[in-house]
Amino acid sequence: MHVEKVLISRKNEILDFFEMEDSSRFSFSIYIYDTQEELVEGLRQRGFLKDPDYMCACFKDSDQSINLFEPKDNPSSCEWSKKEYDNVIFHEQIHAIQYAIYGVQPEWLTEGIAKYLDGTYQKGICYLLENYINQREVPAMIELEEEFGRHDYDSYDYAYIMVCYLIEILGKKEFLRMIGNQQALDTFSTHLVDSAVNYYNHKFLEEKESKIWILEK
């Protein structure tokens, strides 16, 4: 099965990020359905009644399960190809392993780490700032903590940039230590979104001015 191959082949990338060598204590179930429609129906039969018809994959904290479907060899134009779906599989596996290590954590953090690892933002933070984040008012941190994904902006953009910022200023080892300490996490998350956006805007402005200065010389 394609899904199973992806889960096995990419697991070590996640373990390396979290600096975990032994995954034997991790415990979660994996449900793989034949089609996306069967995935949605299967989730509803298991009690997840609010999942939308367009649900294509998910990790459920409540029963510690990864839920996926098997992509087709020759999908139609409106279906997921195997290549497109690979990162979805990887994304949900990140959630499952992070949950196995740390338990329940804020959604901005879990989604930010998954986006940091899954390659969604390959165009870089500068592109993200110029084309999306700087085009509107930065949301309040409490909004991202309590109402993630419920507004007309893309909450994942801010989750990603906050995780990038924390890893950059702390270093990955300290970042991993910090997210395992709820008190430390609460301290760092105060005004975090503003700090991250301001940090990268200032950083890229300095880089741009430095390049202009070099060219003028």
The whole-number pLDDT of residue 25 equals 77
pLDDT at residue 213 above 90?
Answer: no
User: If 0-12 CB within 10 Å is exposed, 13-18 middle and 19+ buried, where does residue 115 land?
Assistant: buried
Backbone φ/ψ region at 140: left (φ over 0), alpha (ψ -120 to 50), beta: beta
pLDDT at residue 133 above 80?
Answer: yes
Sign of CA dihedral 135, 141, 142, 145: positive
The whole-number pLDDT of residue 77 equals 87
Give the mean pLDDT of 126-133.
96
Q: Which of 8-12, 51-55, 141-145, 208-212 has the lowest mean pLDDT?
A: 208-212
The whole-number pLDDT of residue 66 equals 97
Give the mean pLDDT of 79-96.
95
Whether 16 and 63 map to the same domain: the answer is yes
Higher pLDDT, 22 or 99: 99
Range of the domain at 96: 1-103
What token pair was written down for 85?
């779906």
Among 83, 103, 123, the domain boundary falls at: 103
Whether 162 and 64 map to the same domain: the answer is no
Whether 119 and 181 map to the same domain: the answer is yes
Torsion angles phi and psi, residue 120, rounded to 5: -60, -40
67 CB-near residues (< 8 Å, 6+ apart): 31, 33, 39, 42, 43, 57, 58, 59, 60, 92
